[in-house]
Amino acid sequence: MRISFLLLVLGAGCIAGRTYSEGDDRLLREISRQQRWAQQALEAKPSPDQLERIRNSDYEAVGAARKELRRLIAAVDRGTWVRDAAAAALEQDRDPQLAQEFDRAGRVRRETLLAADELAEALAEAHGGLTIGDLRPGFEALRKARQSEDALSAKQAAAAKPGAPRLAPAALPVPQPFIEAAAKLVHAHAELAKELDRLPPQDATRIRARLGDLERQKEEQKREAAPAKAATAPPPPPAEAEAPAPSDTLNIANDAADLIKKKGAPKSITLRPDGLFGLKYDDAIHLVDPEGKLVRSEKP
């Protein structure tokens, strides 16, 4: 980003035959400014409540989060530049402040990557909150950071000059940021799978591997939910029992007993299709149920 500025300062010192220390102030001011911008981006990261609003697809929260994601990714690049610039300057001037800025840039870059990763995952769960194109700068910033750390480590091992400052490597977050967010995004929107071909092959391979894990988890959840659903399902309603057939035996009790006691034995007792018994007398036919209760009387 600003490596050309550093090279210009170094070159000017060499051409004039002066030590690099005369350009320290300019470089330190630039490093301080880049550190300040990176810190501001980190401090502006969304709070847990804001992340929840993003996941719930709050329109304003999602719009602000997309801008913040870009700022956080830019802050990652700033951290890489500061470490490269400070390391190069320390070869000329063993200023303790340069060493402090070198270490600080590594810590801030790591925290910024973690914040950007968390934000990207929240956006991946929002409706229209994230695209693979939004993540591409993040993967590129990670690639630059990894290359920078590898180059610094190799240079430290090769130089090994007596009294030379030992610059501690800055570990990058594990698991790799943005992989989960990209996998969740493609898992929810299968049509975006072709966009993975535009990413570096190594990153695309990691995303597809994680995507396979998400698919297997989904199938396992379905299998686990099936028995639980069956166990909690209400029992089927009992089949309607058939109505008992009407009794073909008259119980001489209740109204039937009173009639026989009052009028004597009927001329006939007939079982009707409707299950009632007809007690026939000269003046009427009295219909009673099998228990002997009078239902109605009819003219003969």
pLDDT in tens, 181-195: 999 999 999 999 999
Lowest mean pLDDT among 41-45, 134-138, 167-171: 167-171
pLDDT band for 291, please (50, 70, 90 cuts): confident
**For residues 248 and 159, what is the distance between their CA atoms, to the nearest angstrom?**
114
108-132 mean pLDDT: 96
pLDDT band for 10, please (50, 70, 90 cuts): very low
273: pLDDT strictly greater than 60: yes
63: pLDDT strictly greater than 50: yes
CA dihedral 213, 218, 222, 228 (to 10 degrees): 90
66: pLDDT strictly greater than 50: yes
CB neighbour list of residue 139: distance below 8 Å, 6 or more residues apart:
178, 199, 200, 203
Confidence at residue 8, expressed as pLDDT on a 0 to 100 scale: 40
- CB crowding 35-62: b at 16 or more within 10 Å, else e: beebbebbeebbeeebbebbbeebeebb
**For residues 20 and 93, what is the distance between their CA atoms, to the nearest angstrom?**
7
Q: Which residue has the higher pLDDT, 96 or 242?
A: 96
Q: Which residue has the higher pLDDT, 287 or 17?
A: 287
Confidence at residue 222, expressed as pLDDT on a 0 to 100 scale: 86
**For residues 239 and 74, what is the distance between their CA atoms, to the nearest angstrom?**
69
Q: Please provide the average confidence, as pLDDT, over all residues in the chain.
A: 84
Lowest mean pLDDT among 27-31, 229-233, 265-269: 229-233
pLDDT tens digits for range 135-161: 999 999 999 999 999 999 988 877 666
Confidence at residue 226, expressed as pLDDT on a 0 to 100 scale: 75
Confidence at residue 262, expressed as pLDDT on a 0 to 100 scale: 82
pLDDT band for 230, please (50, 70, 90 cuts): low
pTM: 0.68
Lowest mean pLDDT among 14-23, 135-144, 270-279: 14-23
